[in-house]
Structure 1
Amino acid sequence: MQSSSDLFPVALMSAELRGDLTEDVYRLKPGNSPDPSVELVLTRLGIFGRESARGAPVILLHGSFSNRRFWYSPKGIGLGPFLARAGFDIWIAEMRGHGLSPRNQHYRRNRVADYARYDLPAIADFVCEQTGEVPHWIGHSLGGTTLAAALGGHYLGEGQVASVALFGSQVSRTYWPLKMPPVEWGGRLLLKRFEVLSGSLLKRGPEDEPIGLALESLRWHGLFGRFGDAESDWWAGLSEVPMPVLAVAAAGDVQDPVWACRKLLEQFPEESRHFLCLSREEGFAGDYGHVEMLIGKDAQREVWPLVARWLEDRQLPAQIGTEIAAG
């Protein structure tokens, strides 16, 4: 198993057999950002006995307060193992300070801007080097938002992205009090007192999030805020993205509502975009929620096969309800 790279230092942390799955865990140290201590962990899933016949690479990005277990449970269940068993070459990324990725020196300052500008390109380059192919990307919630930032900022290009699927990702939900400068300033002063937002205390997930993400979000949603950083308007840049894009929203998602997920998609070129709403009205078992859109028995039966279909053809069935019933 290759554990080195011509790009930057890489260590093969472990190579295990988990039932029918092979699990190779890599630690990358790209050294490409202002904080040289950043290390990122990638878990590669394959099927035992089929290592030499891996299919197209797919990179999975978790959302906030999460880690690789969103895609891959200790029992070998999840969208990651499902796609590996379907023949895809699965790479599960863990962002700075999440899961197996250690906290970097300036962890509290981490922002989507850092993930998008430095981390995702390094991950893409390593996967391209290891596989010799351009990967597909799937992001959930903040993972999808980060992916949109990388595309809109042109930090990821056609040589690094074959297609994109965004699940429950948006940046348009408005928090009107933040449009009042005194409220934004007060919120910023309050947040700066903390190092992290605790996922366990907030009952949002198993991981913490650096306070830099919250401060960045305040700026996005402020009176003159925009989806971007001081150097680049990511929102405007999305209109120039040539790769196929799928946006998936869930009718029962109160955190990232359908209309906002659709608005993010509509910023991409019309000829390359596709939209799917997981709702009873569209023929699904029910109105899915923010997490349930990818986790649970209904998702396993209804959503995962559609993801595999998208990765194979970059298309969805014309009649979703008919396809689900046939499956």
Structure 2
Amino acid sequence: MDPGKWVLWGLLLVLAGLLGNVVWVLSVRRLYRPRTAPPQLLRARCQDGWEIAIHARRAPKRRFEEPVLLCHGLAANRFTFDFAPPYSVAHYLADAGFDCFSVEWRGTGHSRQPPPGRRSTDFTIDDHILQDAPALLELALKETGAKRAFWLGHSMGGLVGYAVAQGPQAPRLAGLLVLGSPVFFKSEPLMRSLLSLGVRAAWPGSFRQEWMSATLAPFLGYVNLPLSELLVNPEHIPPPIQRQVFANMMSSMSRKVLLQFQDWIEHDAFRSYDGQVDWRAGLSRLTLPVLVMGGSSDRLATAENVRKQYELLASSSDRTLHVFGRDRGDKMDYGHGDLMFGTGAPLEVYPLIGKWLKDRATPLPKREEQPAPSPTLSA
């Protein structure tokens, strides 16, 4: 056969494979989409022109003045906290009387579109702290009429909260809840190697692993993916939930963000991209109420890690530490993602979060308790 025809047939096979994968992923996402009413989709413009998406889950009957800001971690999106009940912190807290606002950081989900002249991957964690967070706070406080808000962050979302609490937005925070957020980064060789591989895979701009996650999602629960125990305790998350999570919650990672994490791991630091601001040192100056939570089997934010960061918060007169695990009488030992999606999470993690918030929130007078407004735009 003519070599040119071999090349043509090869190209046709590649195109057919790509098209088949597109159809497969779209079908998987439709099949495994969360079966629940979507939140209200709002948009906030940052000072640098980037527009971020914020998903509002209103309380059926609002009982507390302060809203709760739900902030996801690296390679995730708003489904971290706003999923299908019972595995949904947003639904749990909304039913308790809190208006909830789940952010999608720039470059993620509905916040991918950059302003003119910027690339969709041209940002660092500093931008989440200095640009996205003020826009999130401004919108949530404007929507609710509150003066302050509670910040609940998982993994990187908690780290962003720690940094925001040290800056000009601090007076707007009523309290900070961090869930599986490591501030010490002296990591095992395996994690260093994986992150180095991720940085290479993200060249020139981002690592779009969400497509691979959706492709493999239907097989989860039947087989365990390599290294999955770094992210979750597979025995703690029901197979149908694993499939839903991997089909919906994963998002791409900016190369600059990965480079920043690489710097933190190589130098055991928690600092700005240029190295000028040491956010870990700043923890000792925080005075707002803080709830530090972790999982006994979390390999990314180990129990020792969360205990050490709790010790740094000595200036806060209202600080609480809770490591979920069997040694505390919990259902199972919790990994990183189990803190939201483990079978015990709605029974053990969510109630602790809810009680902590209720004990510190400002109750609305009975006559001012407000029904949820009708959404103007849904995701």
**Residue correspondence of structure 1 range 54-203 to structure 2 within 5 A:** 55-73=65-83, 77-104=87-114, 105-133=118-146, 134-152=148-166, 154-158=167-171, 160-175=172-187, 190=200, 193-200=203-210, 201=212
Deviation at residue 270 of structure 1 after TM alignment = 4.7
Of 271, 280, 284, 2:326 maps to 280
Q: Which residue of 2 aligns with 1:265?
A: 310
Query: Aligned pair in 2 of structure 1 residues 56, 106: CA closer, same or farther (>3 Å)?
Result: same
Q: Which runs of 5+ in 2 are unaligned?
A: 1-33, 214-224, 226-230, 232-245, 362-379
User: Which shows bigger deviation, 272-281 or 255-264?
Assistant: 255-264
- Separation in structure 1 between the aligned mates of residue 134 and residue 201 of structure 2, nearest angstrom: 29
Query: Aligned pair in 2 of structure 1 residues 46, 282: CA closer, same or farther (>3 Å)?
Result: same
Of Structure 1 and Structure 2, the greater helix share is in: 2
Of 185, 189, 209, 2:253 maps to 209
Deviation at residue 157 of structure 1 after TM alignment = 1.1
- Separation in structure 2 between the aligned mates of residue 192 and residue 216 of structure 1, nearest angstrom: 13
Match for 1:132: what amino acid? G
Query: Aligned pair in 2 of structure 1 residues 75, 302: CA closer, same or farther (>3 Å)?
Result: closer
Query: Aligned pair in 2 of structure 1 residues 287, 187: CA closer, same or farther (>3 Å)?
Result: closer
**Residue correspondence of structure 1 range 234-313 to structure 2 within 5 A:** 234-268=279-313, 269-313=315-359
Q: How many residues are paired up?
A: 285
Residues 61, 93 of structure 1: 8 Å contact kept: yes
Residues 144, 166 of structure 1: 8 Å contact kept: yes
RMSD: 3.1
Query: Aligned pair in 2 of structure 1 residues 225, 19: CA closer, same or farther (>3 Å)?
Result: closer
Of Structure 1 and Structure 2, the greater strand share is in: 1
- Separation in structure 2 between the aligned mates of residue 20 and residue 47 of structure 1, nearest angstrom: 15
- Separation in structure 2 between the aligned mates of residue 302 and residue 66 of structure 1, nearest angstrom: 23
Query: Aligned pair in 2 of structure 1 residues 146, 88: CA closer, same or farther (>3 Å)?
Result: same
Query: Aligned pair in 2 of structure 1 residues 59, 270: CA closer, same or farther (>3 Å)?
Result: closer
Deviation at residue 137 of structure 1 after TM alignment = 0.8
Match for 2:305: what amino acid? A
- Separation in structure 1 between the aligned mates of residue 111 and residue 350 of structure 2, nearest angstrom: 27
Of 254, 265, 276, 1:221 maps to 265
Residues 188, 215 of structure 1: 8 Å contact kept: no
Deviation at residue 70 of structure 1 after TM alignment = 1.6
Residues 149, 228 of structure 1: 8 Å contact kept: no
Deviation at residue 187 of structure 1 after TM alignment = 7.8
Q: Which runs of 5+ in 1 are unaligned?
A: 1-17, 316-327
Deviation at residue 177 of structure 1 after TM alignment = 6.6
Match for 1:144: what amino acid? G
Deviations 1:188-240 (A, max 9, x none): 99467332123334777521111111111122233485523434221222222
- Separation in structure 1 between the aligned mates of residue 103 and residue 268 of structure 2, nearest angstrom: 33
- SS of the aligned residue for 2:101 comes to strand
Query: Aligned pair in 2 of structure 1 residues 193, 76: CA closer, same or farther (>3 Å)?
Result: same
Match for 1:272: what amino acid? D
Question: 1:39 and 2:38 equivalent?
Answer: no
- SS of the aligned residue for 1:243 comes to coil
**TM-score where L is the length of structure 1:** 0.77
Residues 202, 208 of structure 2: 8 Å contact kept: no
- Separation in structure 2 between the aligned mates of residue 192 and residue 23 of structure 1, nearest angstrom: 31
- SS of the aligned residue for 2:292 comes to strand
Deviation at residue 102 of structure 1 after TM alignment = 2.4
Query: Aligned pair in 2 of structure 1 residues 262, 196: CA closer, same or farther (>3 Å)?
Result: same
Larger RCO, structures 1/2 (Cα 8 Å, 6+ apart)? 2
Structure number with larger C-alpha Rg: 2
**TM-score where L is the length of structure 2:** 0.67
- Separation in structure 2 between the aligned mates of residue 76 and residue 304 of structure 1, nearest angstrom: 10
Deviation at residue 89 of structure 1 after TM alignment = 0.9
State the identity as a percent.
25
Match for 1:64: what amino acid? L
